[in-house]
Chain A
Amino acid sequence: EVQLVETGGGLIQPGGSLRLSCAASGFTVNSNYMSWVRQPPGKGLEWVSVIYKDDRTYYADSVKGRFTISRDNSKNTLYLQMNTLRAEDTAVYYCARTIFGVVPSYFDYWGQGILVTVSS
């Protein structure tokens, strides 16, 4: 059974850093494409980042230069390192397995989400 479990969220001050983890089971992250999607409280979904099987990474303009997606194949875990956090980064963050045809096509499995609150 495919399962994704996010951890590492919490309350952080503006300008601070946080690393989210997404532990996968039922499949291997290094043989799949993986993404982060976030959802501010009461608002819609926003794509954040994707990592390809060959380790290429891509980001939304809103987080480029501040966030870094990575994975640890030995732990079968996806990460999102978030630096220079802003109030507008406050959201529930979801990791999602990404199905790739010629390009990223859709997200078939999602974690339960983890809340990140950026506030002083």
Chain B
Amino acid sequence: QSALTQPASVSGSPGQSITISCTGTSSDVGSYNLVSWYQQHPGKAPKLMIYEVTKRPSGVSDRFSGSKSGNTASLTISGLQAEDEAEYYCCSYAGRSTSIFGGGTKLTVL
């Protein structure tokens, strides 16, 4: 099973908005509203940012939002801030009690 497809990198200036896509198949992203997004700073553990496509855990800024259309999920970060610079991973339930991650997207805040 191949990883979900994410762009290798995206960039934006402070205050701007960016969107990271996450493309899977009808067997994972397309079949379940169970996409989550994780932020990972260098040398740190991943941090949950979005779960079940659109939900934000307590303590996560409302500048982070998620959506899904068909086999593609998206993470949007509005009002970019320097501390948003990190690697972002999507993840989806993939059936048979398995999960699958995306390859990761490096966000650079210019």
B55's nearest neighbour on chain A, judged by CB, is A106
User: Which of A60, A61, A103 has the largest number of chain B CB atoms within 10 A?
Assistant: A103
B35 to chain A, nearest CB (A): 9
Give the distance to chain B from A93, nearest Cβ to Cβ, in Å: 11
A8 → chain B closest CB, angstroms: 17
Q: Within 8 Å of chain A (Cβ to Cβ): is B64? A: no
Interface SS, A side: strand
Please classify how large the interface on chain A is, using the bins under 10, 10 to 19, 20 to 34, 35 or more.
20 to 34
Q: How far is the CA of A46 from the CA of B36 in the complex (A)?
A: 14
Contact A105 B36 (CB under 8 A): yes
Residues from chain A with Cβ under 8 Å of B103 in the complex: 44
Q: Flag A15-30 by CB within 8 Å of B: 1 or 0 each.
A: 0000000000000000
Instruction: Tell whether A45 pairs with B96 under 8 Å between CB atoms, given A105-B51, A111-B45.
Output: no
Contacts of A108 in B (CB 8 A): 48, 51, 57
Complex CA–CA separation, A72 to B83 (angstroms): 38
Report yes or no: A110 in contact with B45, Cβ–Cβ below 8 A: yes
